Amino acid sequence: MNKVINVGIVGIGWWASVHAEALKKNKFMKLVTCYTRNAEKAKEFAYKYNCNYEDSYINLLKRKDLDAVIITTPHTTHKELAIMAANSGKHALVEKPLANTVKDCKEIIEAFENQDLILAVGHDKRWMGQHRKMKEMIKEGKIGRVIFSDGYYFNPLGLNLTPDKWRFYREESPGGSLAYLGIHMIDTLRFLLGSEVYEVTSMMDKIATPAEIDDVAIALLKFENHTYGFIASVFVTPRIFNVNLYCTEANLFSNENGELYIQPRDQLNKMKIEVEKVDPVLKEQEDFALSIISKKKPEVDGYEGMKNVAIIEAIIRSAKEKRTIKVESF
């Protein structure tokens, strides 16, 4: 357990900086190098975070001292970069979504299984303190049986998309707001309810974004344990992040500030519950590192990531065909 995992970050957008900041606090991992196609950007990142930089992804993967990579590149590149990492003997933490299709997810998973390497997917929202507390309360039976759940993730970034950005294009980002926002709600509700989504009924639309993508996606989810859920992702309004549970003994309401409120069955008012403040990206990094060190399955492995992608594909088809879709068909 004394081993420290040497990691390199591939793709240096703003989320790479979030990972780099978390790595400063990670006692199980050390940032040793980075790569992006823009050499000047790589130099600046390396200077800021006290690491090396490489002039190519291949050279990064050739490093003998490198154990793993964190991939934070555009979604359509995940498959190629992840499989290259596996073939070079490197473990990988791939930012969500694992890929744009279940087919590509399967190929990524197979590559890592063939090399007996750890593959984790970056779904950091399930690691938030309020969501872990909600899960704990469900397990302890404190809120009764969950009947309904919902998750809302809105963000105005879709208003600023221009043709020079990869997120602008439908081919690069099938599902639009689902790929950035909705997938977080899908994963978090699956985590909380401990059940798989059986079928979906959805609507999607492009309303205000200048980009090709849909900026609104809403979906009703039916879970295998006969619980229902609702998610909404909107890419063109002020930021909102809420996950709520409605149960036989109490309702729970959470927000991105890490706050959690309970409404007992016999009350109209909500009471605040104390929640541990955590860095969710650090938590997922630590789980990834300990999975490598202890040779155990990470909490969010490739199969978990693929299930979320299957639900997104089902939502897209449901909206297109205007009918309920069974997720198992994917």
Number of H helices, E strands in the chain: 10, 14
- Domain map (residue ranges) of the chain: 5-123+281-300, 125-278+310-329
| Residues near 285 by beta carbon (within 8 Å), at least 6 away in sequence | 19, 22, 23, 26, 28, 29, 70, 93
pLDDT of residue 174: 87
Range 295-307 average pLDDT: 97
Q: Is the pLDDT of residue 213 over 80?
A: yes
Beta bridge partners of 154: 234, 240
Q: Are 204 and 214 in contact (CB under 8 A)?
A: yes
- Supply the pLDDT for residue 1: 46
Q: Using an 8 Å Cβ cutoff, are 165 and 75 in contact?
A: no
User: What mean pLDDT, rounded, does the chain reach?
Assistant: 96
**Band of pLDDT at residue 147, cut at 50, 70 and 90:** very high
Burial of 277 (0-12, 13-18, 19+ CB in 10 A): exposed
User: Which contiguous run of DSSP H or E holds residue 188?
Assistant: helix 183-193
As given in the structure block, the two tokens for residue 40 are 């000047």
Would you state the pLDDT for residue 84? 98
| CB environment 59-90: b (16+ within 10 A), e (fewer) | ebbebeebbbbbbbbbbbbbbebbbbbbebeb
**Paired tokens of 22:** 């978390």
Is the Cβ–Cβ distance between 138 and 192 less than 8 Å? yes
**Nearest-angstrom CA–CA distance, 178 and 234:** 8
- Neighbouring residues of 318: CB distance < 8 A, sequence distance ≥ 6: 200, 201, 202, 219, 324, 325
284: left (phi over 0), alpha (psi -120 to 50) or beta: alpha
Quick: pLDDT tens for 233-280. Answer: 999 999 999 999 999 999 999 999 999 999 999 999 999 999 999 999
Per CATH, the architecture of 5-123+281-300 is what? Answer: 3-Layer(aba) Sandwich (3.40)
pLDDT mean over 66-78: 97
Of 15-19, 20-24, 163-167, 219-223, where does mean pLDDT reach its minimum?
A: 163-167
Calculate what percentage of the chain has a pLDDT beyond 90: 95
Contact (Cβ atoms closer than 8 angstroms) between residue 100 and residue 75: yes
Backbone angles phi, psi at 33, to 5 degrees: -160, 175
Residues 288, 189 contacting (CB under 8 angstroms): no
Cα of first residue to Cα of last residue in the chain, in angstroms, is 39
In our burial notation (b when 16+ CB lie closer than 10 A, e otherwise), range 149-163 reads bbbbbbbebbeebee
CATH of domain 125-278+310-329: 3.30.360.10
Q: Which pLDDT band, with edges at 50, 70 and 90, does 2 fall under?
A: low
